[in-house]
Amino acid sequence: MSPEDIKKLLGGYATGTLTAEERQALFAAALEDQELFDALAREQSLRDLLRDPAARAELLSALDTPASRTGGFWQWLRRPAVAGLAMAGVAAIAVVAVWQGTRVAPMKLAEPVIVADLKRPEPVPALSSAPPTAPARQPEASTRTKAGDAPAAAMTDKKTTLAIAPPPAPAAIQALNERRDATDVAAPAMAPPPPHPAPAAVPALTARKAEAESTAAAQSAGAMSVAVPENLPLDARALFYLNQLAPGANAFVEPSGGGGAAPPPARPAAPRKDAAPQTAKAVSGFAAPMSATAPRLGVRVSILRGQSEVDLTTVLDPGETVRLKLTPNADGFLYVVEGSRIVASGAVGRLKPFETPELRFEGSGQKQLYVLLSRRPRTVAPLSLGSLASGDLVQTSPDQERATYVVSGARGAGAQQVVVPVTLTYR
Amino acid sequence: MDREQILAKLRERIVLFAASHLSRDAAEDLAQEVLLLLHEKYAHLERVEDLLPLSLQIVRFKIMSQRRKSVRRGEYTQVSITDIQLPDLDDNPAEYVERKQMLEQLAKAMSGLGERCRELMRLKLEGKAFPEIQKIMGVAAINTIYTWDHRCRKNLLEAMGGSWEPPKR
């Protein structure tokens, strides 16, 4: 036995369980090795104890009792591998904690929901024939609550309601002032008017009235209270997104009233004697641009060179493989045709990008493709698609975007499909 | 190795061991006392397997006796050889208390051992030799048992605070 192995016999010395050979080897080595002799001498007290049968019995009974969970756990925890794993785990947690602490969480703003806000005009004290009394105002208040809060109540409470109202136009304020003067003159038999409010409050009241009237007019037209100048030229991008603001722009079936997603029918504005001319004027002012911007199908087209997006006017390298990124402004079905074959097709969602498979064309020059956006699925004859491409398209390539917006022209407003020619230019 | 050679080796080892606990002169005297006792009372023992354990036991008793006497008399230096008494192998009250404390600590430490060490200790306390333990535990090599026992003994000693005996006051 090697000296190291002989030292392992020490455990048998105290219990007196060494064999004759082991004893001889151990003691012979101890005579020559002072360290081993000292170790044996230190074992002597244990040996003396274990020579007592009663002590042995007591220790055996202690061994028979199950090890305490705590003691076993600490023994297990003291193993080097376990301690190393624990340290690695603590270090990993610390790294993650530091990383999370130093990372700037991206701000995610809630997307505002644009809804129409119906505001009934409040009576102007200067226009009323008698001083307003509390009972007279009560029904109006309850009506406003029902009419004005009902659409908002239909919305989920979680969404933010954002009311967009045009600022009171100076012309409207002027018209109201004139009309108020005329009313005062035309009612001589009426009771004496109440005292005018303080001068500073008059402009505010007239402004609120103008705002209420214009809002009611917009509501009667079934449109948003978005101020669109009558003669404003709209480019393709504006038309592309304007369709999203008009209720029912994405619906090709009239709402039956049962669908939760269908917009509520426009509530006719309550006729008012004194507001009739202004309402008609406001309606005519809004109806014209809104009808001109009736739902028009359109597609936002761009080229994907790898992961980067470029405009359609980009000159491509010969044999370069690209993809088309197509974003429709309405739910429907997209078909991408090149020559006699359909290179891509599928159902698309409003403002959800649709990417074609990789397109590869040999040679140089221009390659003509056609993109058909249809509200309904249809059978496409690739060769005849070019003939369906109408010249009545509005196309815009905004400077701030690397894409081209193509929208139906005025004659195509309300159409169920649009065919957009896409030309790829190869060097 | 004959008896004289064994006793000569024993004396050398005892002196060095006792010198680590007592003064050098006391260690020399202690070794002389042990050899004297072995010569007078255990002259029939000739093998190292008998002489060495016996001498270690005598050394332990004498060292314990000297410590008690030094504490009792306030002596922390040398002890006169005339005061070193022959060992009394019967238990005395002080030794009984020390044994009791040691047994309690040992039982507590053993109960905290791992399952394999507890099994190994149980077999040893039952008087099983290492070859028998090897068979019972189904281990191929006896060296594996030696290694396990070495580690278990080390763990037990650590649980006891590094020494089998209770700390001296």
ipTM of the complex: 0.79
State whether A303 and A371 are in the same domain. Answer: yes
| Token output for A97 | 């904690």
| Token output for A148 | 């004005």
Residues with Cβ < 8 Å from A44, sequence gap 6 or more? B53, B56, B57, B59, B60
Is A17 among the domain residues?
yes
State whether A306 and A368 are in the same domain. Answer: yes
Instruction: Please indicate whether residue A96 or residue B66 has the higher confidence score (pLDDT).
Output: A96
Structure confidence by residue, pLDDT tens digits, A189-225: 444 444 444 444 445 445 455 444 544 444 444 444 4
Instruction: Please indicate whether residue A180 or residue B50 has the higher confidence score (pLDDT).
Output: B50
State whether B66 and B8 are in the same domain. Answer: yes
Point out the domain boundary residue: A239, A267, A293.
A293
Residues with Cβ < 8 Å from A88, sequence gap 6 or more? none
CA-nearest of A336, A338, A337, A370 to A355 is: A336
Q: Is residue A385 pLDDT above 90, yes or no?
A: no
| B contacts of A37 (beta carbons < 8 Å) | 13, 16-17
Amino acid at A229: P
State whether B55 and B23 are in the same domain. Answer: yes
Taking the CA of residue B72 and the nearest CA in chain A, the distance in Å comes to 22
Is A171 among the domain residues?
yes
Is B141 among the domain residues?
yes
CA-nearest of A301, A308, A342 to A424 is: A301
Contact (Cβ atoms closer than 8 angstroms) between residue B84 and residue B29: yes
State whether B72 and B122 are in the same domain. Answer: no
The C-alpha atoms of residue B98 and residue A45 are separated, in whole angstroms, by 10
Q: Is residue A57 pLDDT above 80, yes or no?
A: yes
CB contact under 8 A, B115 and A67: yes
Q: How high is the pLDDT of residue B134?
A: 92
State whether A225 and A308 are in the same domain. Answer: no
Point out the domain boundary residue: B83, B102, B128.
B83
Residues with Cβ < 8 Å from A130, sequence gap 6 or more? A190, A191, A194
Is B169 among the domain residues?
no
Instruction: Please indicate whether residue A255 or residue A323 has the higher confidence score (pLDDT).
Output: A323
Point out the domain boundary residue: A32, A48, A65.
A65
Structure confidence by residue, pLDDT tens digits, B4-13: 889 999 999 9
Q: What is the mean pLDDT of residues A44-60?
A: 86
Where residue B119 sits, what CATH number does that domain have?
1.10.10
Point out the domain boundary residue: B32, B58, B83.
B83
Q: How high is the pLDDT of residue B76?
A: 55
Q: How high is the pLDDT of residue B14?
A: 92
The C-alpha atoms of residue A256 and residue A241 are separated, in whole angstroms, by 25
Q: How high is the pLDDT of residue A214?
A: 46
| Token output for A255 | 């709402």
Q: What is the mean pLDDT of residues B36-44?
A: 90
State whether A281 and A361 are in the same domain. Answer: no
Point out the domain boundary residue: A233, A261, A293.
A293
The runs of H, that is alpha helices, within B74-141 are 93-111, 115-125, 130-137
Torsion of CA B143, B147, B149, B150, to 10 degrees: 130
A32 at interface of B, judged by CB pairs closer than 8 A: yes
What is the chain B residue with the closest CA to A76? B114
CB contact under 8 A, B9 and A44: no
Q: What is the mean pLDDT of residues A404-419?
A: 85
Instruction: Please indicate whether residue B108 or residue A259 has the higher confidence score (pLDDT).
Output: B108
Q: Predicted confidence band at A248 (pLDDT cuts at 50, 70, 90)? A: very low
Q: Is residue A279 pLDDT above 50, yes or no?
A: no
Q: How high is the pLDDT of residue A391?
A: 75
CB contact under 8 A, B56 and A72: no
Residues with Cβ < 8 Å from A194, sequence gap 6 or more? A125, A128, A130, A131
The C-alpha atoms of residue A424 and residue A426 are separated, in whole angstroms, by 7
Other beta carbons less than 10 A from residue A192's beta carbon: 8
Is A410 among the domain residues?
yes
Residues with Cβ < 8 Å from A223, sequence gap 6 or more? A246, A247, A286, A290
Instruction: Return the sign of the alpha-carbon dihedral for residues A105, A106, A107, A111.
Output: negative
Please state the φ and ψ torsions of residue A349, each to the nearest 5 degrees. Answer: -110, 160
Point out the domain boundary residue: B83, B112, B146.
B83
Domain boundaries, position A10: 3-65
State whether B118 and B67 are in the same domain. Answer: no
CB contact under 8 A, B130 and A67: no
State whether B77 and B16 are in the same domain. Answer: yes
Domain boundaries, position B102: 93-159
Is A267 among the domain residues?
no
Instruction: Return the sign of the alpha-carbon dihedral for residues A25, A31, A34, A37.
Output: positive
Is B112 among the domain residues?
yes
Rounded-to-5 percentages of helix, strand, coil across chain B:
70, 0, 30
Is B76 among the domain residues?
yes
Residues with Cβ < 8 Å from B11, sequence gap 6 or more? B31, B32, B34, B35
Q: What is the mean pLDDT of residues A227-254?
A: 61
Q: Is residue A141 pLDDT above 50, yes or no?
A: no
- Residue in the block written with tokens 């004289």: B4
Q: What is the mean pLDDT of residues A44-50?
A: 87
Q: What is the mean pLDDT of residues A367-382?
A: 87
| A contacts of B114 (beta carbons < 8 Å) | 67, 72, 75-76
Is A56 among the domain residues?
yes
Is B88 among the domain residues?
no
Buried b (16+ CB within 10 A) or exposed e, A387-412: eebeeebbbbbeeeebbbbbbbbeeb
Q: Mean pLDDT of all residues in chain B?
A: 84
Q: What is the mean pLDDT of residues A308-324?
A: 87
Q: How high is the pLDDT of residue A288?
A: 43
Q: Predicted confidence band at A354 (pLDDT cuts at 50, 70, 90)? A: very high
| Token output for A173 | 């304020």
| A contacts of B112 (beta carbons < 8 Å) | 67-68, 71-72, 74-75
Is A421 among the domain residues?
yes
Q: How high is the pLDDT of residue A177?
A: 53
Is B50 among the domain residues?
yes
State whether A320 and A364 are in the same domain. Answer: yes
Where residue A383 sits, what CATH number does that domain have?
2.60.40
State whether A246 and A356 are in the same domain. Answer: no
Instruction: Please indicate whether residue A264 or residue B105 has the higher confidence score (pLDDT).
Output: B105
Name the least confident of A114-128, A233-247, A277-291: A277-291
> Would you tell me the crossing angle of helices A34-50 and A20-32 to the nearest 10 degrees?
130
Q: Is residue B100 pLDDT above 50, yes or no?
A: yes
Q: Is residue A326 pLDDT above 90, yes or no?
A: yes
| B contacts of A82 (beta carbons < 8 Å) | none
Is A200 among the domain residues?
no
Q: What is the mean pLDDT of residues A315-337?
A: 89
State whether B104 and B53 are in the same domain. Answer: no
DSSP A266: P
Q: Predicted confidence band at A112 (pLDDT cuts at 50, 70, 90)? A: low
Is A137 among the domain residues?
no
- Name the domain count of chain B: 2
State whether B20 and B41 are in the same domain. Answer: yes
State whether B100 and B76 are in the same domain. Answer: no
Contact (Cβ atoms closer than 8 angstroms) between residue A350 and residue A250: yes
- Name the domain count of chain A: 3
| Token output for B82 | 């005339």
State whether A390 and A302 are in the same domain. Answer: yes
Q: Is residue A80 pLDDT above 50, yes or no?
A: yes
Residues with Cβ < 8 Å from A110, sequence gap 6 or more? A159, A160
What is the chain A residue with the closest CA to B11? A31
What is the chain A residue with the closest CA to B90? A48
Report the run of H or E that residue A12 belongs to, with start and end: helix A10-15
State whether A358 and A386 are in the same domain. Answer: yes
Taking the CA of residue A27 and the nearest CA in chain B, the distance in Å comes to 6
Q: Is residue A310 pLDDT above 70, yes or no?
A: yes
What CA–CA distances, in Å, run from A198 to A122, A125, A194, A201, A203? 17, 11, 12, 5, 10
Residues with Cβ < 8 Å from A408, sequence gap 6 or more? A296, A297, A298, A390, A392, A393, A394, A415, A418
State whether A180 and A233 are in the same domain. Answer: yes
State whether A304 and A420 are in the same domain. Answer: yes
User: Mutation test of the interface with chain A: which of B5, B21, B55, B56, choosing the one with the most A Cβ atoms within 10 A?
Assistant: B56
State whether B107 and B69 are in the same domain. Answer: no
Rounded-to-5 percentages of helix, strand, coil across chain A:
40, 20, 40
Structure confidence by residue, pLDDT tens digits, B109-160: 888 888 899 999 999 998 999 999 999 999 999 999 999 999 999 999 888 8
